[in-house]
Chains A and B, each alone.
Chain A
Amino acid sequence: MERRNFFKITSLAGGGLLLSTYLPLACTSTEVPNIDWEPNFFIRINSDNTVTFICSQSELGQGTSTGLAMVAADELGVSMDKLKVEFGQGSTERYGDVQDTGGSNGLRIVWPSLREAMATTRALLVAAAAQKWQIDVDECYCEDGHIHRKDQEGQKLAFGEVLEIASTLPAPREIKLKEPSEFRYIGKSVLGPKTKMAAKGTTPYSINKKLPNMLYAAIARCPVWEGSLTSFDATEALKVPGVVEVLEVEPTELQTTDYKGGVRPGVAVLANSTWAAFEGKKALKIEWEMGKNGLKSSATIQQELADNYKTPSKANINLNDATTLFGRSSKVFSAVYDAPFQANACMEPLNATAYHRGHKVEVWSGTQAPQLTRDRVAELTGLPVAAVTVNNPPSGGGFGRRYFCDFVEEAVILSEKVRVPVKVTWSREDTFLTSKYHPITKDYWQASLDANNYPIAIKYRGSIGRPGAYRCYPYSIPIAFYDYLKYKDGWLLPRASWRSVYAHPWGLGLESFMDELAQNANEDPLQFRIKMLENAEVVEQKELPWVGDDLYPAKLKNTLEMVAEKANWDTTNDGIYQGVSAMGYNTSYVAMVADISVENNQVKVHKVTAVIDCGLAVNPSQVKAQIEGSIMWGLSATLKDGITVEQGHVQQSNYDTYDLMRITDAPDIEVHIVESNDTPSGTGEVGVPGVAPAILNAVYAATGKRIRQLPITASLLESAVS
C-alpha cells in the first residue's frame, strides 16, 4: 500500500501559495513603526506582536478554526495564546476555489497551502532578524512569536520589531516545512478560541447581527414545494405593533447546481424586532396554489422509486466483471433498505442579514459556502462579484444545510427592495416545514451465492450509481452499480445535504447487507468483513470530487481489528448484544461496535465503541468530539423521527414532532484514534453512516429480527418476523 507522508506538500488546485507584500510607509522614527503586516491571506502580524489568524473555512462547530490555527501557529512559531482568530470572507481571489466547506474537506484541503504560506512567512521574519543582527539566517530560529539567536541565548527580537524589514524582503526560493518532531500543538488536544467563546456565550453568530436602521424579517413560505402564491391580505399583520411593511417574495428558480436558488414564493413581514415580525407573520392571510406536489406523500415517492426499480437499467460501474460472475449461480439473496426524508435541524435557525446599497451588497451569514454564496448574490443582483462582500461568522451547526444559499438570497431580495439592512430569521417551524431535506431513499441489494452460501458477486441499485458520485466500496466481492433510482417527476421536497449525505443510505444498505451475507455463510459478522477486506484492491477514487485520495481496504480492516479488541467483541454479557459496521468516507475510516439491549421492543443503546483512522489527528479532542457527535446524529436517524410528507406538506413542525436524541438517551461513547502520520483527512461525517447498520445488526443479534427500515420503532420491531 502506498503510504503518504503528511509533510509532503501537494499543490492546491487553483490555490497555490498566495502572497502579498505590504509597502511600509516612510518612517523616520527609530521606534517600532505602527504597522500591521499581511504576508498572505491567512494571517496578519500585528505591530503589538500578536498574530491574527484569518479562518478561510467555515466554522460550524467542527473546530476547523482551531485546527487550522494550530497548524498556522506551529508552522510559523507563535503561541496559541498570542493568536487571535478572525472569521474570513468569501473570496476566490484570496483562497482559490477551495473555501466552501463540505465533504469534511476543510483541514485536508487547506493544510498544504496554509503550511507553505506560514513557512514562507517564518523564513521572511528570520531573514529580517538576521539582517538586523548582521548574521546568517542559519544562526536564527523562530519560536514563541520571536526570532532567536542560536549563538547568544536570550537574544531575541519580537515579530513586531522586524515587520518593517520582513515586509520588504523577497520570498525565499525554497522553503522548509517543520518536521513533526518540531510541532508544539499539532497532535495535541488544544482548546481553541471558538471553544472559549462558546463557553461564555459570546460566539458572534449571524443571528445576533444588528445594524443601524436594520429591519427584522419573517417570511411565510409556500408550504408545498413548487406551489405558488395566489393572494395575500396584510391588513391584520400591519396592525401588529412593530410591523413596518409587508412585501411579496418572488421565488428564485432552483439552479442546476442545486446549492443555489430555490427560494420559495412567500410573503415577508418586516418589523422592528424579530418577535414583531414573527407575530406579524401569524396574522397574514394567504392563499396558496399547491400544484402537483399537493397530491403527493412520502408513500408516493417510495412507490415511484419501487416502480423505477422495475425499469431496465445498465451497470455503470462493473468491478471485476461482477455482472458475469453474478450469473454463475441461480441462488440469489436480496434485501431492500428504506430511509425517510431527514431535516438538518441545526440549533441556530437559518438566518442572514443583507444590506443592498445599490452599487454594492454586504451579507452577514453563517454559511458553509461563502464563495458560492457570493457568486450567487452577484448573479441575483447583477452586480460584479467584487461588489459583493460575504462575511462568514461561525454558525450554530451546518451539517450540509448551510451549503445551500436560499436563505441568503431571501435577505438580499428584501434588502434590494427596501435599501436598508434586513435580517431574515427563520422560525423553528420554517426550518422543518419549508426547508430543504435529505432525500427519501430506497436501496436494492442482491448477491448471488455459491454452494456454501458465500457471496459470488453483488448487484446494487438505489440512491447512488452515477459514475463520479459518492461510492466507497472497500470489499473484495465484485460489485456492479446500476442506474440510480429516479422519481417520476421532480422533487417532492428540494434536496439538501445532510451530515454524510449519500453515505447514510449507502452505509445502511452496505453494512446491513454485509451482516446478512455473513449470516447466510454462517460466519461471525466482524470476521467475515475482515476476510472480505483481506484481498480487496485499493480503490481508485483520488480524482473524484471531494475525495482526494484512494480507498485503502487495509486501513478499514485495521480499524475493525482494533474495534474488536476495544469493544470486547464476541464476549457476551447478560442481555447485551453487539452489532458492528465499518465505513470509509472519502479518505477516513471508522469501525464501530454498538452494545444494545431490547426490552418490550424498545431498543436501548448502552455503549458505542468506535475506532477512527483520519490520518494525522491534528486535535484529538476535536476528532473524538466529531465522532461522538456523529454517533448521536446517526442514533437520532436510527431511533427517533424522520420527516414524513402528506399531500405535499411536511408533518413535523418543531422538536416535539421531530425528536432528537436527548441526554437521557445518550449512550457511553468510546472513541479510539489510529496513530498515523498520513495527511489529515476529514472527521465530520465518517462517523455517521455506520451507526444505523451497527444498531440494526445488534437488534438482529438480540432478537433474530432483521429490520431494513429507518427509523426503528417499537411497533416496527414488534410486527417484524424473526
Chain B
Amino acid sequence: MINGELLEVDAHDNMPLLWALRDVLDMTGTKYGCGKGLCGACTVHVDGEAVRSCTIPISALEGKEITTIEGSAVNPILEKVQDAWYVTDVPQCGYCQSGQMMSAAALLAKNSNPSQDAIHSAMNGNLCRCGTYVRIRKAIRAAADNLDQNAN
C-alpha cells in the first residue's frame, strides 16, 4: 500500500524502495541524497515509522503501509506539516524538504506537542545544505499548534 493505494511494483527484489518510487512508479517527491541513510532526504513512513527508503529493499515491504510526500491527502498530519512549511517560508532549494516534512510528520503523529529536544532528536538525521533549520524548528511548532487547535 502506497498512500492508501495498493500498488504492484515490477522491479528487482533488491531494489531499494527509493528507486522503485522514483524510477518505476514515477513518484519523484522522495529524494536521493546519499544512498546510505546518512542525510534523510529519502525519508518515508513505513507503517507510520519514519524510515530511509534508500536502504530498504522492496522485498521487505510486502504488505506494509507506505506513506510518501505525495500522501498528504491520506495523512492529515502531513498536510498540516506541508501547510506550516509553506507559510513559514521554510524551503530554499527544497530538495531535502520532502524528507524533513516526513520526519516532522512522524514526530507529530507520536508527540503532538514536542519540546525543542524532541524536535532535535527526531530531525537530527535530516541534513539541509541551504541551512533552513531555524525555520524548520519554527514550522514544526506552528504545525503542532495548528494540530492542537484542531484537536480542541
Q: Cβ of B123: which chain A residues have Cβ within 8 Å of it?
A: 663
Besides the contacts A346-B93, A621-B89, what 20 more A-B pairs have beta carbons closer than 8 Å? A61-B93, A189-B89, A194-B91, A198-B94, A201-B29, A201-B98, A216-B23, A273-B11, A273-B19, A346-B95, A347-B31, A347-B96, A347-B130, A395-B93, A622-B89, A629-B92, A631-B131, A655-B34, A660-B127, A662-B124
With contacts A399-B129, A654-B36, A656-B38 known, is A275 near B19, CB below 8 A?
A: yes
Q: Report yes or no: B89 in contact with A191, Cβ–Cβ below 8 A.
A: yes
Q: Cβ of A463: which chain B residues have Cβ within 8 Å of it?
A: none
With contacts A274-B23, A632-B133, A656-B38 known, is A397 near B15, CB below 8 A?
A: no
Q: How would residues 629 to 666 of chain A score, 1 for a CB under 8 Å from any chain B CB and 0 otherwise? A: 11111000000000000000000001110001111101
Q: Cβ of A633: which chain B residues have Cβ within 8 Å of it?
A: 129, 131
Q: Report yes or no: B34 in contact with A660, Cβ–Cβ below 8 A.
A: no
Q: Report yes or no: B124 in contact with A663, Cβ–Cβ below 8 A.
A: yes
Bound Cα distance from A694 to B3, whole angstroms: 47
| Of A94-102, A203-211, A469-477, the one touching chain B | A203-211
Is B66 interfacial (CB 8 A cutoff)?
A: no
Q: Cβ of A661: which chain B residues have Cβ within 8 Å of it?
A: 131, 133
- In A206-257, the 8 Å CB interface with B consists of 207-208, 210, 216, 241-242
Q: Cβ of A242: which chain B residues have Cβ within 8 Å of it?
A: 12
Q: Cβ of B90: which chain A residues have Cβ within 8 Å of it?
A: 195, 199
Is B28 interfacial (CB 8 A cutoff)?
A: yes
Q: Report yes or no: B127 in contact with A347, Cβ–Cβ below 8 A.
A: yes
- In B35-51, the 8 Å CB interface with A consists of 35-36, 38-39, 41
Q: How far is the CB of A657 from chain B (nearest CB, A)?
A: 10
Q: How far is the CB of B31 from chain A (nearest CB, A)?
A: 7
Query: Out of B29, B33, B70, B85, which one reaches A347, CB within 8 Å?
Result: B33
Interface residues of A (CB under 8 A from B): 60-63, 189, 191, 194-203, 205, 207-208, 210, 216, 241-242, 273-276, 278, 345-349, 394-397, 399, 425, 427-429, 621-622, 625-626, 628-633, 654-656, 660-664, 666, 668-669
B130: nearest chain-A partner, CB-CB: A629
With contacts A61-B91, A625-B92, A663-B133 known, is A347 near B23, CB below 8 A?
A: no
Q: Cβ of B70: which chain A residues have Cβ within 8 Å of it?
A: 201
Bound Cα distance from A276 to B132, whole angstroms: 33
Can you identify 21 A-B contacts, CB atoms within 8 angstroms? A195-B86, A196-B86, A198-B91, A199-B97, A202-B29, A207-B28, A273-B24, A274-B23, A276-B12, A347-B96, A394-B94, A397-B129, A397-B130, A427-B35, A622-B89, A632-B128, A632-B133, A654-B34, A654-B35, A663-B137, A666-B134
Bound Cα distance from A234 to B36, whole angstroms: 25
Bound Cα distance from A654 to B32, whole angstroms: 13
Query: Out of B16, B97, B119, which one reaches A198, CB within 8 Å?
Result: B97
Q: How far is the CB of A363 from chain B (nearest CB, A)?
A: 19
Bound Cα distance from A416 to B131, whole angstroms: 38
Q: How far is the CB of A640 from chain B (nearest CB, A)?
A: 11
Q: Cβ of B133: which chain A residues have Cβ within 8 Å of it?
A: 632, 661-663, 666
A657: nearest chain-B partner, CB-CB: B38
Number of interface residues of B (CB under 8 A): 57
Is B67 interfacial (CB 8 A cutoff)?
A: no
Q: Cβ of A195: which chain B residues have Cβ within 8 Å of it?
A: 86, 89-91, 94
Query: Out of A61, A205, A621, A656, which one reaches B36, CB within 8 Å?
Result: A656
Q: Report yes or no: B129 in contact with A349, Cβ–Cβ below 8 A.
A: no
Q: Report yes or no: A663 in contact with B93, Cβ–Cβ below 8 A.
A: no
Bound Cα distance from A160 to B61, whole angstroms: 52
Bound Cα distance from A654 to B127, whole angstroms: 12
Is B136 interfacial (CB 8 A cutoff)?
A: yes
Bound Cα distance from A621 to B127, whole angstroms: 22
Interface residues of B (CB under 8 A from A): 11-12, 15-16, 19, 22-24, 26, 28-36, 38-39, 41, 69-70, 72, 82-83, 85-87, 89-98, 101, 119-121, 123-124, 126-137
Q: Cβ of A196: which chain B residues have Cβ within 8 Å of it?
A: 86
Bound Cα distance from A577 to B113, whole angstroms: 33
Bound Cα distance from A552 to B135, whole angstroms: 32
Q: Report yes or no: B92 in contact with A61, Cβ–Cβ below 8 A.
A: yes
With contacts A347-B41, A664-B124 known, is A199 near B85, CB below 8 A?
A: yes
Bound Cα distance from A660 to B36, whole angstroms: 16
Q: Total contacts A to B, CB within 8 angstroms?
A: 177
Q: Cβ of A346: which chain B residues have Cβ within 8 Å of it?
A: 93, 95, 129
With contacts A273-B11, A397-B129, A655-B34 known, is A663 near B28, CB below 8 A?
A: no
Query: Out of A63, A197, A428, A631, which one reaches B35, CB within 8 Å?
Result: A428
Q: Cβ of B96: which chain A residues have Cβ within 8 Å of it?
A: 347, 396
With contacts A63-B92, A195-B89, A428-B33 known, is A275 near B23, CB below 8 A?
A: yes
Bound Cα distance from A645 to B93, whole angstroms: 29
Q: How far is the CB of A694 from chain B (nearest CB, A)?
A: 16
Q: Cβ of A666: which chain B residues have Cβ within 8 Å of it?
A: 131, 133-134, 137
Q: Report yes or no: B120 in contact with A61, Cβ–Cβ below 8 A.
A: no
Q: Cβ of A629: which chain B residues have Cβ within 8 Å of it?
A: 92, 130-132
Q: Cβ of A631: which chain B residues have Cβ within 8 Å of it?
A: 131
Q: How far is the CB of A421 from chain B (nearest CB, A)?
A: 14
Q: How far is the CB of A403 from chain B (nearest CB, A)?
A: 15
A398: nearest chain-B partner, CB-CB: B93
B117: nearest chain-A partner, CB-CB: A664
Q: Cβ of A625: which chain B residues have Cβ within 8 Å of it?
A: 89, 92, 132, 135
The CB with the most chain A CB atoms within 10 A, among B89, B121, B126, is that of B89
Q: Report yes or no: B95 in contact with A664, Cβ–Cβ below 8 A.
A: no
With contacts A347-B33, A347-B96 known, is A191 near B87, CB below 8 A?
A: yes
Q: Cβ of B131: which chain A residues have Cβ within 8 Å of it?
A: 628-633, 661, 666
Q: Cβ of B15: which chain A residues have Cβ within 8 Å of it?
A: 273, 275
Bound Cα distance from A199 to B83, whole angstroms: 7
Q: How far is the CB of A683 from chain B (nearest CB, A)?
A: 12
In the A-B complex, the 8 residue pairs with the smallest Cβ-Cβ separation, listed nearest first, are A632-B131, A198-B94, A61-B93, A396-B95, A201-B29, A198-B91, A201-B69, A61-B92
Bound Cα distance from A276 to B11, whole angstroms: 10
Q: Report yes or no: A347 in contact with B129, Cβ–Cβ below 8 A.
A: yes
